[in-house]
Amino acid sequence: MSELRIEHLTSPDIAEAIAGGMRTAVLPLGATEQHGAHLPLSVDSDHADRLGVLVAERLGDALVLPTVRIGCSAHHLGFAGTLSLRAETLEAICTDCCVSLAAHGFRRVLIFSAHIGNYPLLSEIGPRLAARLPADLRVVTFSDSTAILDAWRSAAHRIAGLADRVGGHADIAESSIMLAMRPDAVRHDLARAGFTGAMDDALLSRVFTDGIKAVAPDGVLGDPRGMSPELGLACLSAVADLLAEHAAPRERPFT
């Protein structure tokens, strides 16, 4: 199929695809939150949109659900425009989507997030979904943020020798990804380094407790300068490979 996004297909198209063996659904999670002065609030959701299609192409038997475009972003609420869901609200959305998919004959669902703030929920939602859904619908969640950052750093090292600049927010990796997807949305003239100290566990704890504005008044963790579409495409491809491998059919516990 040339179109894998269910929102752009007709109901008969989808029924035919399911009957033909496309029994996997990909549910991307995003966010609507600040990304400094140089990137729009849609970064995580646009990123999730693109990854969803790339992963479905790699799996070969998958259709892509509409991205959930608001996530758990309470630590960004100090910045105008940011929207945030409670974790239980996002979990309810995922549950209801999976119930619908099971009714239509899907047998496998991959839920992933392009927004790290959704990862605490994804790390624990699997068993609860399993208890609420038909036994013949397998739900696979991805919540390994370290693997994502490692994939980005590997790409940054290979493309630009800048692995040490990856790991923040609205940094060179995220900015490059947006530049690859929507170059018209990147404000190069406003791209500035933000907080450039150590991105360790203590810092992340403070970000989630006190809000990112307490650490980075401009909302940027890292330095976006040096961004390139080549790096963005490499990051997208690396993470799509990672997600597709994680979702590949196999006997494994819920994760």
How is domain 6-144+238-247 classified at the architecture level of CATH? 3-Layer(aba) Sandwich (3.40)
The CA distance from 237 to 229, in Å, is: 12
- pLDDT average, residue stretch 208-213: 94
> How does pLDDT run across 13-27, given as a tens digit for each residue?
999 999 999 999 999
Quote the tokens at residue 54: 């790339």
In contact, 219 and 35? CB cutoff 8 Å: yes
Per-residue HEC secondary structure of 85-131 comes to CCHHHHHHHHHHHHHHHHHHCCCEEEEEECCHHHHHHHCCHHHHHHH
pLDDT at 250: 64
Give me the residue spans of the domains in the chain.
Answer: 6-144+238-247, 147-235
In contact, 51 and 13? CB cutoff 8 Å: no
Order across the sheet with 138-141: list the strands: 62-64, 24-29, 108-113, 138-141
pLDDT at 167: 87
Q: Is 222 helix (H, G, I), strand (E, B) or coil?
A: coil
> How does pLDDT run across 126-185, given as a tens digit for each residue?
999 999 999 999 999 999 999 999 999 999 999 989 999 998 999 999 999 999 999 999
> How does pLDDT run across 83-114, given as a tens digit for each residue?
999 999 999 999 999 999 999 999 999 999 99
